[in-house]
């Protein structure tokens, strides 16, 4: 058997990448909670465990810089755990910066080659400065108190302080740590300990850092090389640790593997040699600092303290050479982003397996009929075929829904990115802000979640910058000085509704209207409904902000938000009330892969319109057609003029509806409060369609979002309603609409 070490390492890297992303998110969430409640010991322990796990996994993969940074963060969290210091704004800010750098390292694709940037070095120095800071401050206080003492205190020190039992400090027994003979440790890890991400070598390294570690390993169960599984442990260790650490501190080193090993830790009695050295140690304690330092033996080299013989020291040289070669190889390796991974619950997988089983049974029934039918089918066989086909249709539909469920993830994965943004921007703008989230378990297609991230972040940043007022401004308006931003998600039939709301000052409707008049978006002097005025902020380049903001710029970018959401097949609406706040609603389909659609015929071709974009369908009244501004075709629908788009002319297709005898069918579509009448020849019905990329299989065509294959094998093109509305606006401004058309019929040949 040939071991593919590269494949094994790649597998370990993928597992670590997946788990570290969750651990980093968890660490960040715990730190944000600690900033609000620094006395929550459970949050402190959870944050420490997350940092400890990240460090352990990074160490196993030789991500040295990542280990170094996480170790510093872990040291500060350890001081929180042992109550040597308490969480404060300064140290939490440094730990959050560490989280950002850990993300950068993982996003780089190869943390082993991540550069030691000056900003990172500066952060690590700041972290080092915070480690032991409390002890240093306490020492300064004690030194100041000692210096301020009188002569009688010096006399007491010379004579020896009297202990409760009548002895003096010079006669008192040395500490347990001084007299201790160390600890005997029997460590027998289970064979599959590494499959959980734990590395015994990392544990040995941590023990080595606590003192002098010696011992031996048991190799009796080690298999032959050809049978060796590198992910399985076959050895055990009998160790001796000389340290001043307590037994509880040693147990903490094994806290992550206590259920995956057999462990015995016992304190050893001091040896005779140790007892002989006790008087000298006691004398050294009573000597002045300079004398003690002069008489102290030289510190052992940490690199050599773990070896007990010359042979062990010689064996280190090849190991170091191998480590250097491994490091050089990793530096030369190209950065590769890990494959995207989705965790799926076993319930969903079990359901899918059961449905596949039903499908196999149906196939078996139909197969038997095919084997028996050498002649023409009789009525009984035809009945069995029909029943089998109906069952096949049900099975296919169930499998389709089940497979789509595998791609569904809770929207909590998206919402969890927001608290950090609220925290950082709130501090930068000196605003007091509370974040509320609801419906975090609402599920959405994974691809939608990824593409929704940027629009959501932009909307939250806008609310933080322009929506929420300063505390004193809120108090003057009779509000709570702490503003509230709320994120919620609910499922409505086949759609998900996401709302981003705040209780800030709301939009300045009059200012937006004046800007819209100035830009010609609304005819001068016309005052439409507030909703239509507010929707102007989603137009390209629209802004009412006169000064540049570091957080959200000049307002430019809301058009990108609207475009991204409509590209996902969704809609965005905005409602605002002066002095009370703003509410932005995003309506999205559950998935992009399957679409609920209305089929329409235009000429000899079939088009697909997403149901989510359709307001209504109707038979057109020829008397209601009109001209808008004496040039653009429109249609009066319930006394409201709407622009008209003839799909046949737009895409260069022959339309049979041009004859006056045949009535025209119209489909009214809407995106972000903008409506448009599409003229079609015939409504064919509604069904679910599987979306295929037109760009990958043909080329990009303006006004089309993709294609699908119908039941009869023909190709139908899916309309991009948002882009059609934009195209209509562009041609209206240029006066060119109808002068050119898009020849797409060739794509169907």
- pLDDT tens for 42-82 read 888 888 888 888 888 888 788 889 989 999 998 888 888 88
Length of the chain counted residue by residue: 749
Q: Are strands 665-671 and 674-680 parallel, antiparallel or unpaired?
A: antiparallel
Report, as an integer, the average pLDDT of 102-110: 88
For the chain, the helix, strand and coil percentages under 3-state DSSP, each to the nearest 5: 50, 20, 30
Report, as an integer, the average pLDDT of 441-453: 83
Alpha carbon distance 288, 297 (integer Å):
16
- More confident position, 417 or 301: 417
- Single pTM value for the model: 0.56
Tell me the Ramachandran region of residue 132: left when phi exceeds 0, alpha when psi lies from -120 to 50, beta otherwise.
left
In the prediction, which pLDDT does 494 show?
65
**Nearest one of 558, 582, 611, 626 to 469, comparing CA atoms:** 582
Q: Are strands 433-438 and 483-492 parallel, antiparallel or unpaired?
A: parallel
Q: Are 612 and 702 in contact (CB under 8 A)?
A: no
642's tokens: 């709407």
pLDDT 10s digits, 4-27: 556 656 767 777 887 888 888 889
Helix (H) or strand (E) holding 445: strand 443-445
457's tokens: 């972040």
Alpha carbon distance 267, 269 (integer Å):
7
Most confidently predicted of 200-209, 224-233, 630-639: 200-209
Alpha carbon distance 359, 356 (integer Å):
5
**Nearest one of 560, 566, 615, 606 to 586, comparing CA atoms:** 566
Cα 721–722–728 angle (5° rounding)?
90
Contacts of 622 (CB under 8 A, 6+ apart): 660, 664
**Nearest one of 173, 180, 178 to 268, comparing CA atoms:** 180
Give the 3-state secondary structure of residue 590.
coil
Q: Are 249 and 218 in contact (CB under 8 A)?
A: no
In the prediction, which pLDDT does 607 show?
92
- More confident position, 239 or 229: 239
Q: What is the mean pLDDT of the chain?
A: 74
Contacts of 628 (CB under 8 A, 6+ apart): 634, 641, 643
CA dihedral 42, 48, 51, 55 (to 10 degrees): -140
In the prediction, which pLDDT does 549 show?
56
Alpha carbon distance 209, 67 (integer Å):
15
Report, as an integer, the average pLDDT of 525-551: 73
Alpha carbon distance 600, 686 (integer Å):
9
pLDDT 10s digits, 555-613: 446 877 887 887 777 788 888 888 899 999 888 877 766 778 899 988 888 999 988 88
542's tokens: 């629209």
Contacts of 5 (CB under 8 A, 6+ apart): 230
* % pLDDT > 90, the chain: 7
Would the pLDDT of 141 be above 80? Answer: no
Q: Are 105 and 65 in contact (CB under 8 A)?
A: yes
The secondary structure of 320-368 as a DSSP string is HHHHHHHHHHHHHSPP-PPPP-----HHHHHHHHHHHHHHHHHHHHHHH
pLDDT 10s digits, 253-277: 887 777 788 888 888 766 544 444 4
Alpha carbon distance 4, 342 (integer Å):
25
Helix (H) or strand (E) holding 200: helix 200-210
């Amino acid at each position: 058997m040939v071991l593919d070490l590269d494949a094994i390492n790649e597998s370990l890297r993928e597992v670590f990448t997946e788990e570290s992303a969750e651990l980093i998110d968890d660490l960040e969430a715990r730190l944000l909670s600690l900033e609000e409640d620094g006395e929550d010991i459970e949050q402190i322990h959870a944050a420490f465990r997350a940092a400890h796990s990240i460090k352990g996994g990074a160490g196993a993969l030789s991500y040295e810089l990542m280990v170094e940074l996480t170790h510093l963060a872990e040291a500060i969290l350890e001081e929180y755990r042992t109550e040597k210091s308490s969480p404060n704004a300064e140290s939490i800010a440094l730990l959050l910066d560490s989280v950002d750098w850990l993300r950068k390292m993982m996003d780089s694709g190869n943390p082993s080659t991540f550069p030691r940037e000056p900003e990172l070095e500066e952060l690590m120095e700041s972290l080092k400065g915070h480690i032991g800071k409390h002890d240093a401050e306490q020492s300064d206080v004690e030194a100041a108190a000692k210096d301020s003492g009188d002569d009688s205190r010096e006399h007491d020190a010379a004579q020896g302080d009297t202990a409760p039992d009548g002895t003096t400090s010079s006669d008192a027994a040395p500490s347990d740590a001084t007299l201790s003979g160390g600890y005997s440790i029997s460590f027998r890890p289970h064979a599959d300990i590494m499959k959980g991400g734990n590395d015994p070598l990392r544990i040995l390294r941590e023990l080595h850092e606590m003192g002098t570690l010696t011992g031996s390993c048991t190799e009796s169960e080690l298999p032959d090389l050809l049978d060796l599984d590198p992910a399985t442990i076959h050895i055990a260790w009998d160790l001796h640790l000389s340290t001043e650490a307590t037994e509880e501190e040693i147990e903490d080193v094994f806290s992550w593997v206590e259920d995956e090993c057999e462990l015995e830790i016992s304190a050893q009695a001091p040896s005779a040699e140790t007892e002989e050295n006790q008087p000298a140690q006691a004398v050294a304690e009573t000597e002045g600092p300079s004398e003690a330092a002069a008489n102290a033996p030289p510190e052992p080299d940490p690199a050599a303290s773990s070896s007990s013989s010359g042979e062990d020291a010689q064996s280190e040289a090849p190991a170091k050479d191998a480590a250097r070669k491994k490091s050089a190889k990793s530096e030369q390796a190209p950065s590769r982003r890990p494959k995207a991974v989705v965790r799926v619950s076993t319930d969903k997988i079990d359901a899918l397996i059961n449905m596949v089983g039903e499908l196999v049974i149906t196939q078996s029934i139909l197969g038997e009929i095919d084997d028996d039918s050498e002649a023409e089918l009789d009525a009984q066989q035809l009945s069995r075929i029909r029943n089998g086909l109906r069952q096949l249709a049900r099975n296919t539909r169930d499998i389709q829904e089940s497979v789509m469920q595998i791609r569904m993830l809770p929207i909590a994965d998206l919402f969890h990115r927001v608290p950090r943004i609220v925290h950082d921007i709130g501090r930068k703008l000196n605003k007091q802000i509370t974040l509320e989230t609801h419906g975090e378990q609402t599920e959405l297609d994974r691809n939608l979640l990824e593409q929704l991230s940027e629009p959501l972040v932009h909307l939250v940043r806008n609310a933080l910058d322009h929506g929420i007022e300063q505390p004193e401004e809120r108090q003057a308006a009779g509000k709570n000085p702490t503003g509230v931003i709320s994120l919620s998600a609910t499922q409505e039939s086949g759609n998900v509704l996401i709302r981003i709301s705040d209780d800030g000052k709301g939009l300045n409707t009059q200012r937006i209207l004046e800007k819209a008049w100035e830009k010609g978006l609304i005819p001068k002097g016309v005052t439409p409904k507030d909703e239509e005025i507010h929707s102007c902020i989603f137009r390209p380049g629209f802004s009412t902000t006169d000064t540049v903001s570091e957080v959200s710029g000049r307002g430019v970018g809301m058009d990108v938000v609207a475009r991204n959401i409509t590209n996902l097949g969704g809609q965005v609406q905005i409602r605002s009330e002066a002095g009370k706040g703003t509410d932005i609603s995003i309506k999205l389909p559950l998935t992009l892969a399957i679409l609920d659609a209305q089929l329409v015929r235009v000429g000899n071709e079939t088009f697909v319109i997403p149901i989510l974009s359709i307001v209504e369908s109707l038979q057109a009244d020829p008397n209601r057609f009109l001209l808008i501004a004496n040039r653009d075709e429109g249609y009066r629908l319930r006394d409201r003029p709407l622009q008209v788009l003839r799909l046949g002319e737009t895409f260069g297709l022959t339309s049979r509806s041009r004859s006056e005898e045949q009535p025209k069918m119209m489909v009214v579509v809407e995106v972000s409060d903008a409506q448009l009448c599409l003229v079609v020849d015939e409504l064919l019905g509604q069904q679910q369609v599987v979306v295929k990329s037109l760009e990958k299989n043909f080329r990009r065509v303006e006004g089309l979002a993709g294609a699908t294959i119908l039941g009869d094998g023909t190709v139908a093109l899916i309309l991009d309603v948002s882009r059609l509305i934009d195209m209509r606006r562009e041609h209206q401004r240029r006066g060119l609409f109808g002068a050119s058309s898009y020849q797409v019929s060739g794509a169907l040949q």
